[in-house]
Homo-oligomer: A and B are copies of this chain.
Amino acid sequence: MTQQGISEQRVDPLARGVWGVVATPFTDAGEIDEASLARLVQFYESVGAAGLTVLGVFGEAAALTAAERMQVLGVVAEHSRLPIVAGITSLATAPAISEIENAQATVGDRLQAVMVQANSGSSAVVIEHLRRIHAATGAAVVLQDYPKSSGISISTDSLIAVVEASPFVSAVKAEAPPTAVAIARITASVEVSVFGGLGGQGLLDELAAGSAGAMTGFSFPEALVSCVSAWLAGDAEAARAELVPYLPLINFEQQPGIALALRKELFRRRGLFTSAAVRAPAVKFPNELDEIAADHLVELDAQEVR
C-alpha cells in the first residue's frame, strides 16, 4: 500500500461473461417484491450469468430509499451465490461513499466491486473522485460512462487516463455510443475488462472490439449468455446465431423512454415478476404495445429458441 492507501498494482479485471443488471420488482402497490426479486436472481444464476449488477439505473436505485437499497442487496445476496457489483447513484463523493458503506455492511465480501459513474468530463475530477472513494472504502470500481443517465460527457482519452491512474478499477462499462470504438480504444490501452450495456443492441460488435461481455438487463439473459459463451469459446458464428433471433426483442425492449417498463413487463410475462410496476416518474408500459410484446414472445417460442 502506498501513502494514499492505494496499491500500485491493478486489481484483477472483472470476470468475463454476462453480468445481469438486476431490475427491482415492485408489487402493484409499489413495494419491493422480494419473491420476484429472488426468482430473478435465481434465474440469472441458473442461466450462467457471471455476476449480478444491482442498484443500477435500470434497478431504479434513484427511486429507492437507502433502507430499500439495502433490502434489495440483502435479497440478492441471499438468493444467489453470484458475485455482486453494486451500482452507486450519486455523482458526488461523500454520498457515494455512504452508499458503498451501506452496500458493504449488507453483503460484505460478496461485493466484488461498486459501479461509479464518470461524474465530470475532466479526468482530474474523476480521478480524485475515485481515489477518495477507494481510500475510504477499499472497494474495487467499475467505471460507468453512461452520458444519457449521468448527463456527463467524457472523451475516451480522458476515460483511459482515469483508468490508468486508478489501479483499483477492474472494469469499464461503456455506454456512450459508438461503444465499439470506445471499447477498441480502451482495451488497446489498459488491462481492464470493458463491458457493453444498452440492452445488448451492439453486443456482437462490442465483443469483436474486445469487450469482456455484456452488463445489461435484457429480459432473455440466457441469449446473451449463450452468445458471449460461444464468443469466448472462439466461435463467432455460433455467437451470432445465438443472438440474432433475439435482436427484434432487444430492439423492442431498448426503446428510449419506456425501456424499463418494457423490460419489467417481459419479466412479468415470463413469470419471473408478479407485476410490471415501475416507480414514478418512470413511465408505465403503454397498452398500445400489448400485442406487439405478445407477438415477440410467440415468435421466440415458435423458433424454439426459448
> Which chain A residues have a beta carbon within 8 Å of chain B's beta carbons?
30, 60, 62-68, 90-95, 97-98, 119-120, 125, 128-129, 151-152, 177-181, 184-185, 201-202, 204-205, 208-209, 236-237, 240, 243-245, 247-248, 251-252, 255-258, 279-281, 286, 288-289, 291-292, 295, 299, 302
Complex Cα gap A248–B62 (Å): 32
Q: A68 — which chain B residues lie within 8 A by C-beta?
A: 94
Are A65 and B151 in touch, CB under 8 angstroms?
no
Complex Cα gap A152–B201 (Å): 26
14 A-B pairs (CB sep. < 8 Å): A60-B92, A63-B90, A64-B94, A64-B95, A91-B281, A128-B280, A129-B281, A178-B257, A179-B255, A202-B251, A202-B252, A205-B252, A205-B289, A209-B288
Complex Cα gap A209–B236 (Å): 34
Number of copies: 4
Are A63 and B93 in touch, CB under 8 angstroms?
yes
Min CB–CB distance A151 → chain B (angstroms): 7
Complex Cα gap A255–B120 (Å): 19
Are A289 and B180 in touch, CB under 8 angstroms?
yes
Min CB–CB distance A35 → chain B (angstroms): 19
Are A181 and B251 in touch, CB under 8 angstroms?
no
Min CB–CB distance A46 → chain B (angstroms): 27
Are A244 and B240 in touch, CB under 8 angstroms?
no
Cross-interface CB contact of A181 among B92, B98, B177, B288, cutoff 8 Å: B288
